[in-house]
Amino acid sequence: MDATLLDHALTRLRRLADGTEVPCKICDGDTGLYDVLDFAKTCLPQTYLGDPSGIPLYYRRCRACGFIFTDFFDDFAPEQWRAFVYNDHYREVDPGYDEARPAENARRVDALLRGRKHDVIGLDYGGGSGRTCTRLRELGYAFDTFDPFGERWLTPQSSGRYNFCTAFEVAEHTPDPRRFVDTIVSMASPGRLAILIGTQAHDGVLGEPGRLAWWYAAPRNGHISLYSRRAMELLARQFHLQYLGLSGRTHLFTRDWSATEAWLFLVRGKLLDRLTRLGSRATG
């Protein structure tokens, strides 16, 4: 058990005992305790790489929009994130980080944007190692990447002009959802814009308080913000963006897109991606 993390947990526990109110980070609604998880819980089938850490993280749920979060990391400094979460062991808890997920993400984006390649100025926010961006550049897309804890490859002439932004497996990692979206919007075009967010929504998955046994709720993976579709919709609205959720893991924020255009965009991309994978299996 790390003494620094334990001291941090005790400070949080004292605030909890004092009855300090914690408003929802998305809609400012009232929240209540939902469950407590051990810091070492991962997304892996075996739950823990080793033994539980003994460090408790309390998750809260908004009574209005359903957003679930922990405030354990709210005042974490960058060096703490690197020391305790995104450290040398992170790839052990997220084995798809290096190759599998970037390849899948690039394939999904290519399926969505096929035929629009020359109209896109893209930004992959929270792109980690930059491999998704690398693959998209190899496919001929004008794409940059920016990660607060990873690679940053930004083309100066694209600054303020990004019209298609992606954020795969990022939203659940942020302790501040509003700042997460605001950062992307501030880097993007002030005109027509689409932001594709890949994160698992918990609608229809979770039960009563005290039942956060969901695999995706995993502090050691950095999964500290868990969204409902309603929470996503309200988050988009705060930035004057429209929201469309085609599936439990695909969320599209748009500006100057019609609802029909956004729906057709996602459906076409999903079908093309499926056909591409079927074709790869047939020739493999």
Residue ranges making up the domain that contains 23: 3-85
Could you tell me if 122 and 79 lie in one domain?
Answer: no
Does residue 92 form part of some domain?
no
Residue 278 belongs to a domain with what CATH number?
3.40.50.150
Region 62-78: what's the mean pLDDT? Answer: 95
Return d(Cα 120, Cα 142) in angstroms, integer: 7
Q: Mark whether 110 and 251 lie in a shared domain.
A: yes
pLDDT for 184 beyond 90: yes
Single-letter residue type at 43: C
pLDDT (tens digit, 9 = 90+) per residue, 114-148? Answer: 989 999 999 999 998 899 999 999 999 999 999 98
Which percentage of the chain shows pLDDT scores above 90?
A: 77
Q: Say if residue 109 is in the same domain as residue 74.
A: no
pLDDT digits (tens, 9 = 90+) for 255-270: 999 999 999 999 999 8
Answer yes or no: is pLDDT of 282 > 80. no
**Tokens found for residue 17:** 């005992």
**Predicted local confidence at residue 1, as pLDDT:** 55
Q: How confident is the model at residue 208 (pLDDT cuts 50, 70, 90)?
A: low
Can you tell me the mean pLDDT for 169-195?
Answer: 97
**Band of the pLDDT at 13, cuts 50, 70, 90?**
confident
How many separate domains does the chain show?
2
257 and 136, same structural domain?
A: yes
Assess whether pLDDT exceeds 70 at residue 220: yes
Say yes or no: 166 and 224 in one domain. Answer: yes
Give the pLDDT of residue 279. Answer: 67
Residue 80 lies in a domain: yes
In a domain, 90, yes or no: no
Domain boundary pick from 35, 60, 85: 85
Quote the pLDDT of residue 98. 87
